[in-house]
Chains A and B, each alone.
Chain A
């Protein structure tokens, strides 16, 4: 049954997920939601990678997915720490308020 699904559909789903994530990054103001959107984009990329791996019958792309997931975990760990710190300082996680950190 799975065989019947064309790779194009995975790629289209991946693109939609990526676009949703991108829109989220662009319009959300809360740091946590921006983070979620970034995760969504990463996972969209992962989905595409997995789909390509299956289509080519090659595992290299799948291993790339593990690297992405590891990086995403590390990113979330650091990012959440930053967000928590910001929240303690400002009682808000609105990313626009961070514009004052501009150099």
Chain B
């Protein structure tokens, strides 16, 4: 099976639904879109099973001939190695489940077909991003998912807030994209090629100056930071909750925001030789993880808690790839895709059951009315909190181990984040499902098409961690699998230390959950005090940007507007000054013969008078 089939199927689905959408009745468009992604999943699985240590390469056509004229060929080609293989499985697998869930979730929407067209478009371009063998092609997918996210976040565009959220996501991503582009320019200047494998081969030979490499790595980091909503480009992601909930699941869990992590893992050959840039990656990740966790504490929107949680968890992934534990980053990416998709879809199920209610203060006690959603949510919460043996525990442990070996400070931050994560996710769970119901809707489950994806994801959340067991417990399949493509990370700590680290992580999770339990046990709405205030405003980062960038820009715009109006009216009056006398002269064109005769007379008198004066003056 050729690789291009993978992105082709969803793009074909997009095309069919857009063009023939009118012919599709009921939920047909949804099933068509889901089948397209399922077909991709089939291709991805087939390749995964057949893939050896050598990557599969496939060239489709030559591209950018100017590049070729220098004797260097940039072609549109796909490239499947073990990292991209894992990614394709996650994207198509989790993506398919989200598609199916959406059929139930979006059933009532008047623009049902269009929604699935966009979802397919998104998945197709995400696969292009992942499979690209060169940075420019990756950038095509990168921009494509940006466009798709814009369309999906602003899917319910009639509200001003939603449209603004979509624009915010788009514009903040542009900042990151600039970094990516600068990195590409620099890579081409330094290496003379943009094909990832060629760049990798050259960087191993180390024929390139160190400062240039560091700069490339930092520019790539800027790109990754934008797409993955890391500090300082975080603020678009919580706003992106304006889109339909399954979209949040898709963007957050399986696809777009993990693209930054993927970009860095893909470019690991660069980061291996650029320790300073790697340190930046690690610190950006750690601080974002802390920021996201702190901001999640005081949120009251069921989805925003999860959104900040995503910011925080992706910070973990950055922390991992920054500290050199690339496989741990990929591992956390995979498990996070499982449990975050699960949590988002579960909250989608809750929102669906409560007819659109998103405020956790108006929920509570849903465990009785929605037993299945409650059960899978509990699994998700325990997984993300890091309770063994669920998926989140293993991957978070791997990340923390890498951080511990790199720097004690980073490990402590990671541990604090783990505690906070357990706390806010415990709060989320207790406020939604425990205590008594505080709202007025009639909660109900969403039906089979919504429940089955939840169950599958819950199962993956339970068993997903076993692909990357700690060395103490057995064979680490994932790290071994990724060895041919990612730098090997040697464990340098003793078994006793490793046990200690595991114990500390579990302890942090238990303490966090315990704190949440004592505070929110009965689903009571307890104020978190000053911290809660700060957290509810997401540490004032938005306000900071508003003050530092937004207000001055608005003032500048107003000034320019005033100036524009001044110039505009100035030019208008100048134009009037010249047209008015013309109009006056035009008024003489009255059509009365006698008037013309009079004018002729006056003109003649003037001329004669002029000459007469000159004669009298003696100048003629």
Real complex partners, A and B? Answer: yes
Binding site for B on A (CB under 8 A): 22, 25-27, 34, 95-96, 98-103
B598 touches A26 (CB 8 A): yes
A25 touches B591 (CB 8 A): no
Tell me the minimal C-beta distance from A41 to chain B in angstroms.
Answer: 10
Complex: how many Å from CA A103 to CA B590?
Answer: 9
- Assess whether B594 is interfacial by the CB under 8 Å rule: yes
CB-CB under 8 A from B591, the residues of chain A are 98-102
User: Residues 573-598 of chain B: 1 if any A CB is under 8 Å from the residue's CB, otherwise 0?
Assistant: 00000000000000001111110011
Given A22-B601, A26-B598, A26-B601, also A34-B589 (CB < 8 A): no
Complex: how many Å from CA A73 to CA B245?
Answer: 96
- Can you list 13 A-B pairs, Cβ within 8 angstroms, ordered by A? A22-B597, A25-B593, A26-B597, A26-B598, A26-B601, A27-B594, A95-B593, A95-B594, A98-B591, A98-B593, A99-B591, A102-B589, A103-B589
CB-CB under 8 A from B594, the residues of chain A are 25-27, 95-96
Tell me the minimal C-beta distance from B283 to chain A in angstroms.
Answer: 79
Complex: how many Å from CA A27 to CA B598?
Answer: 10
Q: Name 20 extra pairs, CB < 8 A, besides A95-B594, A102-B589.
A: A22-B597, A22-B601, A25-B593, A25-B594, A25-B597, A26-B597, A26-B598, A26-B601, A95-B592, A95-B593, A96-B592, A96-B593, A96-B594, A99-B590, A99-B591, A99-B592, A100-B591, A102-B590, A102-B591, A103-B589
CB-CB under 8 A from B589, the residues of chain A are 102-103
CB-CB under 8 A from B597, the residues of chain A are 22, 25-26
* Pairs of residues from A and B, 9 with the lowest C-beta to C-beta distance, nearest first: A102-B591, A99-B591, A95-B593, A25-B597, A26-B594, A99-B592, A26-B597, A26-B598, A96-B592
Give the size category of B's interface with A.
under 10
Complex: how many Å from CA A14 to CA B102?
Answer: 104
Tell me the minimal C-beta distance from B602 to chain A in angstroms.
Answer: 11
Complex: how many Å from CA A103 to CA B598?
Answer: 19
CB-CB under 8 A from A101, the residues of chain B are 591
Complex: how many Å from CA A27 to CA B591?
Answer: 15
Tell me the minimal C-beta distance from B336 to chain A in angstroms.
Answer: 80
Complex: how many Å from CA A27 to CA B593?
Answer: 10
Tell me the minimal C-beta distance from B612 to chain A in angstroms.
Answer: 14
CB-CB under 8 A from B592, the residues of chain A are 95-96, 99
CB-CB under 8 A from A25, the residues of chain B are 593-594, 597
Tell me the minimal C-beta distance from A5 to chain B in angstroms.
Answer: 25
**Nearest CB to that of A34 among chain B residues?**
B593
Tell me the minimal C-beta distance from B340 to chain A in angstroms.
Answer: 77
CB-CB under 8 A from B598, the residues of chain A are 26
Complex: how many Å from CA A34 to CA B592?
Answer: 12
Tell me the minimal C-beta distance from A86 to chain B in angstroms.
Answer: 12
CB-CB under 8 A from A95, the residues of chain B are 592-594
Tell me the minimal C-beta distance from B588 to chain A in angstroms.
Answer: 11
Tell me the minimal C-beta distance from B541 to chain A in angstroms.
Answer: 69
Complex: how many Å from CA A100 to CA B598?
Answer: 19
Complex: how many Å from CA A46 to CA B590?
Answer: 31
CB-CB under 8 A from B601, the residues of chain A are 22, 26
CB-CB under 8 A from B590, the residues of chain A are 99, 102
**Nearest CB to that of A25 among chain B residues?**
B597
**Nearest CB to that of A31 among chain B residues?**
B593
CB-CB under 8 A from A22, the residues of chain B are 597, 601
Complex: how many Å from CA A101 to CA B591?
Answer: 7
Tell me the minimal C-beta distance from B608 to chain A in angstroms.
Answer: 12
Complex: how many Å from CA A47 to CA B593?
Answer: 26
Tell me the minimal C-beta distance from B122 to chain A in angstroms.
Answer: 64
CB-CB under 8 A from A100, the residues of chain B are 591
Tell me the minimal C-beta distance from A7 to chain B in angstroms.
Answer: 19
Complex: how many Å from CA A1 to CA B4?
Answer: 122
Tell me the minimal C-beta distance from A11 to chain B in angstroms.
Answer: 14
CB-CB under 8 A from A99, the residues of chain B are 590-592
CB-CB under 8 A from A103, the residues of chain B are 589
CB-CB under 8 A from A34, the residues of chain B are 593
Interface residues of B in 211-242 (CB under 8 A from A): none
Tell me the minimal C-beta distance from A63 to chain B in angstroms.
Answer: 24
CB-CB under 8 A from A96, the residues of chain B are 592-594
Complex: how many Å from CA A92 to CA B406?
Answer: 110
CB-CB under 8 A from A102, the residues of chain B are 589-591
Complex: how many Å from CA A26 to CA B597?
Answer: 7
Counting chain B CB atoms within 10 Å of each CB, which of A26, A98, A103 scores highest?
A26
Tell me the minimal C-beta distance from A80 to chain B in angstroms.
Answer: 16
**Nearest CB to that of B604 among chain A residues?**
A22
Complex: how many Å from CA A22 to CA B590?
Answer: 19
**Nearest CB to that of A27 among chain B residues?**
B594
Counting chain B CB atoms within 10 Å of each CB, which of A22, A100, A101, A103 scores highest?
A22
Tell me the minimal C-beta distance from B589 to chain A in angstroms.
Answer: 6
Tell me the minimal C-beta distance from A39 to chain B in angstroms.
Answer: 14
**Nearest CB to that of A101 among chain B residues?**
B591
Interface residues of B in 549-607 (CB under 8 A from A): 589-594, 597-598, 601
Tell me the minimal C-beta distance from A36 to chain B in angstroms.
Answer: 14
CB-CB under 8 A from A27, the residues of chain B are 594
Complex: how many Å from CA A25 to CA B592?
Answer: 11
Tell me the minimal C-beta distance from B112 to chain A in angstroms.
Answer: 63
Complex: how many Å from CA A39 to CA B594?
Answer: 16
**Nearest CB to that of B589 among chain A residues?**
A102
**Nearest CB to that of A102 among chain B residues?**
B591
Complex: how many Å from CA A75 to CA B590?
Answer: 24
Complex: how many Å from CA A34 to CA B597?
Answer: 11
Complex: how many Å from CA A22 to CA B604?
Answer: 12
Complex: how many Å from CA A34 to CA B590?
Answer: 18
Complex: how many Å from CA A99 to CA B590?
Answer: 7
Tell me the minimal C-beta distance from A10 to chain B in angstroms.
Answer: 19
User: Residues 124-139 of chain B: 1 if any A CB is under 8 Å from the residue's CB, otherwise 0?
Assistant: 0000000000000000
